[in-house]
Every structure is written in structure tokens, then in C-alpha cells.
Structure 1
Amino acid sequence: MDGPAGGRWRGVPRRRTLAVLAAGAALCALAGAGVTAARTGPGGPAPGPAATAAADVGPPDRRAVEAVLANRERAVRDRDRTAFLATVAAAPAGYRRAQAVMFDNLLKLPLEGWRERFAAVASTAGGAATVQVELRYRLRGHDAAPLVRTRHLAFAPRGGRWVITGDGAGRGLADDAEIWDGGPITVVRGRSVLAAGDGPGLAEIARRLDAAVPAVDAVAGPLAEKGWERRAVALVPADPARAGALAGGGGEPAGIAALATVMPAVRGGGADRIVIAPDSFGRLNALGRDVVLTHELTHVATGGARDGRTPLWLIEGFADYTGYKGRRVGVRSAARELRAEVAAGRLPAALPGRAAFEDGADRLAQSYQEAWLACRMIAERYGEATLVRLYRAAGRSSEDAALRSVLGLGTAAFTAAWRDYLREELR
């Protein structure tokens, strides 16, 4: 929704869990008589005299791939940069440099349990192979269980052994995005928050999120999942397109300052991350930044990014209610798009549905404003504790049943009262 700074922010319009490909059947051996290097590009260098004949090494079986991955795992654990880069071919030099930056980035994170496991052969070419790898890791103090990510590594023979020559990008195989994949990152650790990335303002973001933790806990604490523990991780990329990738999208998140997303974990649920879109976030003023970060932190506390049952107007409206609570911002200013419609005699006929919060929705800002004011009305007339009770009830039953059991109103009666409230507040 549009905030005090005039920039738009959104919470979790897409309940997206980042996809992880299932592990495939075991690799026995790669077919092919001659062994040459992979093609030029991200997947590997061009064939040349450096390529080793099949008689020297043969096609890599699963054990050969896993041996390389085990060396990488050990190097990360031992913080041994030389050993890590020994698993990577000298050419192409650009890929090797990128791997060096990645390793340096990993050392800056509170990383535990890094493990790359063979999953399947994604493609083969001339005796070389691109392998789908299942990566598992956790951030110490933040992730209850290891996260599970899909990556791709191209293997080719060099000097009598198999080494990594690239990723799968040259063959159209996309990795699950990670904050360490770009340029050198900075990591800022607050009291409760870890902010990591190559984008601007990490210390400020960590400070504002730290300040938001008690405010969110005061409102959303009764709804908090077991994994909340009043902590959060913020990913702050410099590139807006990378922000979209980190959030599970295919490109730059247009007009979004921040959003909460979920990365899948080994044992259910997954790990929440707050992704900052640098351009849009940078246009917010101080009040706007506080509101949007509190909004997203509310989603982390309540598990909103993985909630497919609670009505979306309640999820988003509750997050905005928490974000705005105690701040000096007028209703007419914060809901100016909706106010213009109400002033023109166009009251919404119904509470916003799930489609109203999707990318490209015609009335996206108004939908957030409608949801916020619905929750604000409940808190004003029935009390904040009742709003929390409604949120909990709506996640366990239908919207109408939850409204009746908590407020004593069905959906139709509640909608009529809400429409009257909009008219009163926005006239």
C-alpha cells in the first residue's frame, strides 16, 4: 500500500514457497565414449588441448561427483579457501573468481551444516555433465532446521580428475537464488536480526528491525509460531532483479519495498526471510521504512508467508495494523487512494479477495488500505485481543464462521459495518 513516503510497499501478495526439485535416482555412470570439456559459458570452458581423455578418468560416477562435493563441504567447514578453489577449474577465470567471492561471502555468515549432495544428472555433453545438487545449510541462531536448496554444477575432466567448471545457467538450469551469489556481501548482526547483502543501509535495516521486534511481539506474540523466537533474517541485495529472485519471482518486484518469503527446510515449515527491494525501499522516508519493516516482521512472527488458509485481507490488514500502531500518520493520508474513491461515491462492495493482492492488480494499493482499515475497525470497536482471536479463528475455520464466533457477525453484516466505517473515516 502507499505509505507516508509516497512509495508503495507490500507484504506477502504471493504465498510462494521457493521450489526445490526432488532428488533423482542415483547416478550410475554417464554415457559416452570420448570425454571432452563442457561448452563455453557459465556451464564450462570450451573444449581444448587441456581436456583429458576418457581413458585417463572415465565418465564420473556418483562416487566421483560426491568426492568433489565432500571436499567442498570440508573446505567450507574448515574455512579453507585454497581447498575450496581446488575443486574448481582454473578456466573459465570468471567462474573461478565468482566461486572465490562466494566462498568469502560464506565465511561472513553464521553458517552451519553446509552440505552439497548429488541429486541427479541434469544434462550431459561430450562426457562432461551438469549435476543437480541439493544444498543443505542453516544460519546459526536463526534456522531451526537446515534449509534445502537446488543448485547446479558442471563437472568436466582436468588433469586426471573431475573438477567443477561452471553452473547450469548456460543450459537453462536456474539455481535457487542466494544472497551470497552476487558481489561481496556485508553482514550486520543486531540484537535479534541478521542483515546480509551487498545493498545499501544494512546497519539501518538491522537497527529498525531490532526496534520493531518488541512492537511486533506485543501485538502478534499470541499468534507467533514456535519457530519465531523474536529473530529475523533480512536479505538486502543491491540489484532489484536479485531481490525478485530471492523472493522466488522471475524478475524485479515492481513497486515493492520489502516482502516476506519462505525458504523450505528439511523439517516442514521452512525459514522466513525478509527481502529488501533496494530501489523502492530507498524511496521511503523514515516513517515508511519503520512501517514496512514492522509489517514484514509481523508476517515472520505469524507465519503469514506460508499461511494458505487465513483470508488474505486479514493477514495483510493485521500486518499493516501492527505496522501503523502507535505512529503519527493520518488515516486519510495513509489511505489516500481509497479515500479518493470513497469521496467519489465508490465504496468497495466486498472485502478484498486473494486476487486483489496479486501482482498487477488494478486496485492493489486500495486493497491493502481496505484490509488495514478492516482490522483497525475491529481493534477499535472490539479490542486488539479480539482482533488476535479472530486471526487465530480464521486460520482454523471459514471466514464467516470465524466472524460469527468471535464478533457475533456474519460476513455480510461485518462487510456492511466495514463499509460504514470507511465512509466515516475517509469522507
Structure 2
Amino acid sequence: MPAKGNLDSRATAPAMFAGLAGLAIVANLLAGVGYIAFHDGESRAAASSRPVAGAPPAPSAATVNSLLQRRSRAVLDRDRAAFLATVDPSGQAFRAGQRTLFDNLAKVPLAVWKETLADTRPAVAADDGWTARLRLTYRLRGFDRRDLVSTEYLTFDRRPGTGWTISGDGAAHGLRDDPQIWNGGGLTVVHGRRSIVLAEDGAVAGQDSAARTAELRDIAARLDQGIGTVSGVVGDRWARRVVALVPATEQEAEELVGDVRNLGDIAALATVTGDEGGRDTGEDRVVITPTAFGRLTALGRHVVLTHELVHVAMGGARDGKTPMWLIEGLADYVGYKKAGVSTKAAGRELADLIATSGVPATLPGTKEFAGSGDRLSAAYEEAWLACRMVAERYGEDRLVRLYRTAEAEPQDAGDPRLQDHALRSVLGIGTDRFDALWRAYVRRELA
């Protein structure tokens, strides 16, 4: 969920960070919650495969795969010496980066790690070696139900006395790996009961190692608590485990979630990673942006993380059919359920809209959730009140069943029959009657 209303101006006031009641709470806790679908794919840049003068003879596919097998085995065995034995000893900067990569991976509970050639033709043949496109397959033990796939590039060069080694990546040729949290600086990994937090060491600025670890443990504890809260509403038909990624900068967060930009006021997003070919084979991740999340109060962190866990539980980050008001409204409903925030405080942008334009005629659609500013914030509040109305009038079980029914409908997301059929099947009323009930509820709660 994007930032609420005029958050930029509100969130800069110190009082907003310190307050524990009323509007001060809301300004902080609504720094942003949201979701975005992301599918790993090809490199962001293209490169020529035309050989150039001075390029070394090409290694055979068998030679490259043998080198990669040794490298992959070293990662799983946590054998640092064997891993570095595959890296060109003369390239000090690249070798230092590979040391950091290995040290990061040694902290991650990997059940699978396998690098293989994705294409027997080089992506680039140049005087610095042969750069190949690779297929990385990995899985986190205890969290991922399937192997995840991403693309990376490595350069292979033949050195006197050492034979073929890995001498670089694809960056020099404009070839970029699919982003991974372990490819940056140092990595801190914190385990919860049902959560794991993977954070770049620069993600919590201005803190020593002990304070940074304490901050990450707090995130893990809140995720563990949120898993119970979410299951209490939506049931146990989900993994009830979560992987959270905490990059060091908003730019790195943008890369992890794909095409989202300007994440400065968004505290967290649910995303899908490792999805090969868009076949819905990836796994959910919660990406936490360091600056906006750092501005949240304790209550705000509870709401934001619980909201994102609903997306994980219900498949919101990969859902292209369920009406957006149900996707975001249910997430907000669960997030606010035990937060103790008053209706008028949580719905103030919608209250302002009603004061100037009256109660909206219909529930917000996709275009309202693609907007910005106060109107976007109001759309989230409209969705939240719609779901809360269903829970109060019909019960939480039927609210969840309404979501599941809409999710299973065969029509496209833009087809109004999808929503109408789900409403009639679960609540026994059509869209017109539902809109009328919702408008009356909103008027009673906020007007």
C-alpha cells in the first residue's frame, strides 16, 4: 500500500514519530503498505555475442559446468577455500566481492544452490574473457516449497598455471544479474520461529552491530506474531512462514521488487521472486525499505507487517483477478484488527473526501489504486471499510470466503460479473445492494 495522503509533510514532524495515540500514530503507521508482483526474467540489458580480436579460445560447456559444479558444491558445503579456488586470483577487486558473496551465502539456510549454463553460446566474447548467461537454482531450507530460478552472468578466462577460472561478472558489458539480497555488502541473517530476516549490513544506519541485530530481531518477532494474527482470520491454508528482505537503500529495494519506483514513503511490500517464465512458480518475499520503515512507531510496524503477511497468505502479490478492494481491504482489515486505532483516525483521507465530494458512488477499482496522493489513500480506506463491514455484518469466515470465491472466478479482473457473482454466491446480494450497504456504512462511520 503506497504512502497515505500527504505523508511527506506529516512524517517529517518529530511529534509524529513520538506520538502514541490519535493522528500522530496514524501518520507514522501508515508510512506505506503494499504489494507488487515481480517475476525474475532476462537481463536488463543486451550485449553482443560477436567475438572480438584478442578473445581467448572458448571453453567447452563441459569445462564451464565442471567449474560451476565445484563452485556450487563449495557453497552448500560452506567450503570457502574450494569456492575461492574457482575465482581468478589476479583480480583483487572481483575476488574480494566473491569473498563477501560466499560469506553471505554461508549465513543463509540453503537447501539447494546450483549454477549451470543457461546458454552454450557466450553472451559476450571479449579480450577480458567469455561472459556466459547462467541459470541459478536455489531454495531456502524450511521456507521455500520449490526451487527458485534467476539469471546471472559470470566471465570465464584462462590463466597460465591455473587453467579456466571465473574472472568477473557481466557488469562491464552491461549485463545485470537478477537482484539478490546477498549480492551487495555484508549480510546479517536473523531467525524467528517462523520467519527469517536477511538484511544488508547498511540497512539500519547509525547503529552498531548489536543494535542492528536487535532491530532485525524485532522485525522477526513481529512477523512471528503477525503470522498468528493472520492465521486467526484467514485460516491455515498457507505456509505460515515468511522470508523478509531488508536492503540497504530504497534503490536496492526497487530492484528487488521490480518496476516499482519512488519507494521513499513505502515501508514494506510483498513480492514474488524466482518465478521462472511467469509460470507462478516463485515464492513470496516481504521487502522492507529502510528509511520509511525506520520512521514507524511500534504500532505502525505491527500494522504494516501484518498487512503484508495477509498478501503472502492470500497470494495477493501474484493475484491478477480478485478485485483490488478485496485484496487491499482484507490486508488492512487484518492489520488494523488489534491495533487500537480509531476509525476516524485511520480513515481521515476518506473523511476529507466525503466532506468535499460526498460518499463515493461505488467501490474503488483498479484505476483508483493506481493513482496517487489523498485519493489513493482514500481508496485504501474505502476498501478497508468495505471489508470491515462484511466482517461485522456477515462474519470473518464469509469475508475470507468472498475473497477466495472472487479469486477462483474464471473471468478477467476487469469483468464486473466476477465481483457480482462472488457477492451473490457468498453474501446473497448483488453489487448494487452491496454498494448501497457500504455507502451507508461509510457515512455512518465517517460522515
Q: Normalising by structure 1, report the TM-score.
A: 0.87
- Which one-letter code corresponds to 1:144 in the other structure? R
Cα 1:240–1:31 change in 2 (3 A) is closer
Residues 315-357 of structure 1 deviation map (CA, whole Å, 9 limit, x = unaligned):
1110111111122101111121111111223332322222332
CA shift in 2, pair 1:396/1:182, >3 Å:
same
2:387 to 375, 390, 394: 375
Give the distance between the partners of 1:82 and 1:348, measured in 2 at CA. 64
Q: Using the alignment, how far apart are the partners of 2:369 and 2:174 within structure 1?
A: 31
Cα distance in structure 2, aligned partners of 1:407 and 1:95: 61
1:21-420 equivalent positions in 2, closer than 5 A = 32=51, 35-36=54-55, 54=56, 58-120=57-119, 121-126=122-127, 128-159=129-160, 161-198=163-200, 199-200=203-204, 201-221=215-235, 224=237, 228-249=238-259, 251-264=261-274, 268-358=280-370, 360=372, 363-397=375-409, 398-420=418-440
CA contact (8 A) 1:177 1:245 kept: yes
In the aligned structure 2, how far is the partner of 1:281 from the partner of 1:178? 20
Question: 1:395 is paired with a residue of what secondary structure?
Answer: helix
**Following the alignment from structure 1 to structure 2, what is the Cα–Cα distance between the partners of residues 382 and 413?**
14
Question: Which residue identity is paired with 2:130?
Answer: A
Residue number among 13, 33, 50 corresponding to 1:10 in the alignment: 33
- For 1:8, the aligned partner's letter is A
State the alpha-carbon separation in 1 of the partners of residues 235 and 176 from structure 2.
37
Q: Is the 8 A contact 1:260 1:305 kept in 2?
A: yes
1 CA distance for matches of 2:370 and 2:63? Answer: 46
DSSP-derived class of the 1:188 partner:
strand
Counterpart residue identity of residue 249, structure 1:
D
Post-superposition shift, 1:276? Answer: 0.3
- Distance change >3 Å, CA 152–CA 248, structure 1 → 2: same
The change in CA–CA distance for 1:101 and 1:250 in structure 2 (over 3 A counts) is farther
Residue 263 of structure 1 aligns with an amino acid whose one-letter code is T
Matched-pair identity in %:
49
Please identify which structure carries the higher helix content. Answer: 2
Distance across 2 between alignment mates of 1:33 and 1:367 = 56
Displacement of 1:5: 3.9
- Return the alpha-carbon distance in structure 2 between the equivalents of residues 32 and 385 of structure 1: 63
Deviation at 1:125, TM superposition (A): 1.8
Q: Is 1:422 aligned to residue 442 of structure 2?
A: yes
The gaps in structure 2 that reach 5 residues or longer are: 5-24, 44-48, 205-214, 410-417
Does the 8 Å CA contact 1:35/1:59 hold for their aligned counterparts? no
What CA distance in whole angstroms lies between the structure 2 residues aligned with 1:312 and 1:17? 20
Per the TM alignment, residue 114 of structure 1 is displaced from its structure 2 partner at its CA by 0.6
- From the superposition, tell whether residues 183 and 64 of structure 1 become closer, same or farther in structure 2 (CA, over 3 Å): same
* Equivalent pair of 2:264/2:291 in contact (CA under 8 Å): no
- What is the deviation of 1:254? 3.6
Secondary structure at the aligned position of 1:135 is classed as: strand
Structure 1 unaligned blocks of 5 or more: 22-29, 37-53
Contact preservation (8 Å) 2:38, 2:273: no
Q: CA RMSD in A?
A: 2.1
CA contact (8 A) 2:280 2:318 kept: no
Contact 1:89 1:163 in 2 (8 A): yes
Contact 1:313 1:368 in 2 (8 A): yes
| Closer, same or farther: CA 211–308 of 1 in aligned 2, 3 Å | same
Partner letter of residue 89 of structure 2?
A: A
SS state of the match for residue 344, structure 1?
helix
Count of residues in Structure 1 that have an aligned counterpart in Structure 2: 394
- Say if 1:70 and 1:250 are closer, same or farther in 2 by CA, change over 3 A: farther
Quote how far apart the aligned CAs of 1:165 are: 2.1
SS of the aligned residue for 2:106 comes to helix
Aligned 8 A contact 1:34 1:127 in 2: no
Tell me by how many angstroms 1:127 deviates: 7.3
SS at match of 1:11: strand
* CA distance in structure 1 between the partners assigned to 2:366 and 2:143 by the alignment: 30
Q: 1:279 to 1:127 in 2, by over 3 A?
A: closer
Residue 297 and residue 153 in structure 1: after superposition, are their counterparts in 2 closer, same or farther (change >3 A)?
same
Q: 1:358 to 1:190 in 2, by over 3 A?
A: same
- Structure 1 pair 362/323, CA: closer, same or farther in 2 (3 Å)? closer
1:102 Cα offset (Å): 0.7
Q: How far apart, in 2, do the equivalents of 1:391 and 1:144 lie?
A: 24
Using the TM superposition, give the Cα deviation of residue 252 of structure 1 relative to its aligned residue in structure 2, in angstroms.
4.9
TM-superposed CA distance for 1:9, in Å, is 1.1
- Local SS of the residue matching 2:33: coil
Q: 2:151 is paired with a residue of what secondary structure?
A: strand
Q: 1:380 to 1:393 in 2, by over 3 A?
A: same
1:149 and 1:176 in contact (8 A); partners too: yes
Return the alpha-carbon distance in structure 1 between the equivalents of residues 130 and 261 of structure 2.
Answer: 28
Output the CA distance in 1 between the equivalents of 2:313 and 2:88: 44
How many Å separate the matches in 1 of 2:321 and 2:137?
A: 29
Deviation of the 1:268 alpha carbon? 4.8
Deviations 1:110-166 (A, max 9, x none): 112210010123222247221111101111000111111111112222225222222
Using the TM superposition, give the Cα deviation of residue 361 of structure 1 relative to its aligned residue in structure 2, in angstroms.
6.8
